[in-house]
Structure 1
Amino acid sequence: MADLAAAADVEARLGRELTDEEEARVPALLADASALVREFTGQQLDAVAGDTIVLRPVGSLLRLPQRPVTAVTSVSAVGPDGSSVGALSGWTWDGRDKVDLTWAQRAGSWPTTWRDPLPDTYQVVYDHGYDPVPHTVMSTVCAMVLRTLLSPSMTPGMVAERIGSYNYQLQQGSGAVGASVVLTEDDEKSLRRYGPRRFGTIQTEAG
């Protein structure tokens, strides 16, 4: 999975080229920050083609979890034994994140081995994500990396130190910088529009 920002994006915000030491640390920090953003939002965010997912509908509706949905390639019924019918016809996509199975369910020809004439789950192949990654997401990842990269100490929570009589100051509250990237409250506010939505469709397995 690609990082949500690049070293060049970090340099652009830093205003100078990375030092050798910084350059060695940035890839891991970008990967960590990207993972935290994806965990918080519940979204992969960058563009993915041909993602396969198995969902259980609410009524006749499937709601696709990853956004934005850019295409729906196929919908297949999955039986109780795990077997599937080839791509169904008659389903409709609303152009956003819902697939309506009403006509596909009515027209479906299910194997005689399936006890229930209506399958319980459906496999969807679809494309989703942003290309390019939204500027807000990219800049938030860069901010997370820079807070850690520019910390005067590898000790989490230390935001200032002075060699001599050796004084240091600890950051209060959450989001302390140091050896690891962290997601602050301000970061979460910036990312909130990309966060999870409440919906009834159940994901049964990842493709």
Structure 2
Amino acid sequence: MATLATEADLVARIGSLTADQSARAPALLDDASGMVRSYTRQQFTAATQTQTLRSQGGLLRLPQRPVTAVAQVVAIGYNGTPDVTLVDWWWDGTDLIKLGSGNMVINLPERWFDDESGWPSTFRVTYTSGYEQTPDDVVRIVCSMVLRCLTAPTLVGGVTSESIGPYSYRLESAGVGTAVSMSADERKDLDRYRPKAGTITTRTY
């Protein structure tokens, strides 16, 4: 999957990269993009995916945003019943699908109507989501994470100590130039992309 920022984005912020920085940038951009995706649980890049979701009160909340199109909703059969492609569902234009009663589908399995527990609870949804261009604030955060590594004064960790009169301190630090990290402020800025609540994703294809 493409990184959420590019070397050109780094150059736009720092002016130029040395040969060593340019050689290290791709891996660090990949690491930072992965960390942002993991924290937000969002892919950001526009793509079509099929996910298996569990309904809540007849509603399916799509986890990847922004949703730009919904192509198909399939009720997943169980205990020998077949999967059924549904036609009575409605997408609200954002991230929510409302399921119908299934009455618009011919020859539904009788087990679905035998009792309340017979109706499927998991559905396979094919939909398109993501941005054609990564949001500016996400690009900024990824670049900030990478530039902290590239401009770190040292690649290795160590011990820093200093004495001022009768006072002294000792500080052990990791190699800040070897791995990207996300600050508390960056997490706070990314929180708006994190799903607050919704349908459980059980499988992604």
TM-score, structure 1 normalization: 0.83
Task: Quote the sequence identity (%).
Answer: 45
Q: In structure 2, how many angstroms separate the alpha carbons of the residues matched to 1:203 and 1:28?
A: 29
Structure of larger gyration radius? 2
Deviation of residue 80 (structure 1)? 1.0
Q: What is aligned with 2:96? A: 98
Deviation of residue 111 (structure 1)? 3.2
Q: What is aligned with 1:65? A: 63
Q: Is the 8 A contact 2:46 2:128 kept in 1?
A: yes
Q: Secondary structure at the match of 2:39?
A: helix
Indicate yes or no: 2:104 matched with 1:107.
Answer: yes
Residue ranges of structure 1 left out of the alignment (5+ in a row): 160-168
Distance 1:68 1:34, change over 3 A: same
Deviation of residue 170 (structure 1)? 5.5
Q: 1:42-191 counterparts in 2 under 5 A? A: 42-49=41-48, 51-81=49-79, 83-85=82-84, 87-103=85-101, 105-108=102-105, 109-112=107-110, 117-156=118-157, 177-191=176-190
Distance 1:120 1:136, change over 3 A: same
Q: In structure 2, how many angstroms separate the alpha carbons of the residues matched to 1:102 and 1:43?
A: 28
Q: Which amino acid aligns with 2:95?
A: D
Distance 1:62 1:192, change over 3 A: same
Distance 1:157 1:110, change over 3 A: farther
Distance 1:189 1:150, change over 3 A: same
Q: Which amino acid aligns with 1:134?
A: P
Indicate yes or no: 2:8 matched with 1:11.
Answer: no
Give CA deviations for 1:67-116 in whole Å, capped at 9, x if unaligned.
Answer: 1111101111110148412x31110000011100024x333442357676
Q: Is the 8 A contact 1:151 1:158 kept in 2?
A: no
Q: What is aligned with 2:163? A: none
Q: Is the 8 A contact 1:158 1:176 kept in 2?
A: no
Q: Secondary structure at the match of 2:103?
A: helix
Q: Secondary structure at the match of 1:99?
A: strand
Q: Secondary structure at the match of 1:58?
A: coil
Q: In structure 1, how many angstroms separate the alpha carbons of the residues matched to 2:50 and 2:88?
A: 19
Q: Is the 8 A contact 2:73 2:123 kept in 1?
A: yes
Q: Secondary structure at the match of 1:106?
A: coil
Q: In structure 2, how many angstroms separate the alpha carbons of the residues matched to 1:40 and 1:157?
A: 29
Residue ranges of structure 2 left out of the alignment (5+ in a row): 161-169
Q: Is the 8 A contact 1:176 1:182 kept in 2?
A: no
Q: Is the 8 A contact 2:155 2:175 kept in 1?
A: no
Q: Which amino acid aligns with 2:103?
A: R
Q: Is the 8 A contact 2:31 2:180 kept in 1?
A: yes
Deviation of residue 155 (structure 1)? 2.2
Q: In structure 1, how many angstroms separate the alpha carbons of the residues matched to 2:63 and 2:70?
A: 13
Q: Secondary structure at the match of 1:21?
A: helix
Give CA deviations for 1:117-165 in whole Å, capped at 9, x if unaligned.
Answer: 4222111000011110100001100000000000011125889xxxxxx
Q: Is the 8 A contact 1:45 1:67 kept in 2?
A: yes
TM-score, structure 2 normalization: 0.84
Q: Is the 8 A contact 2:111 2:118 kept in 1?
A: no
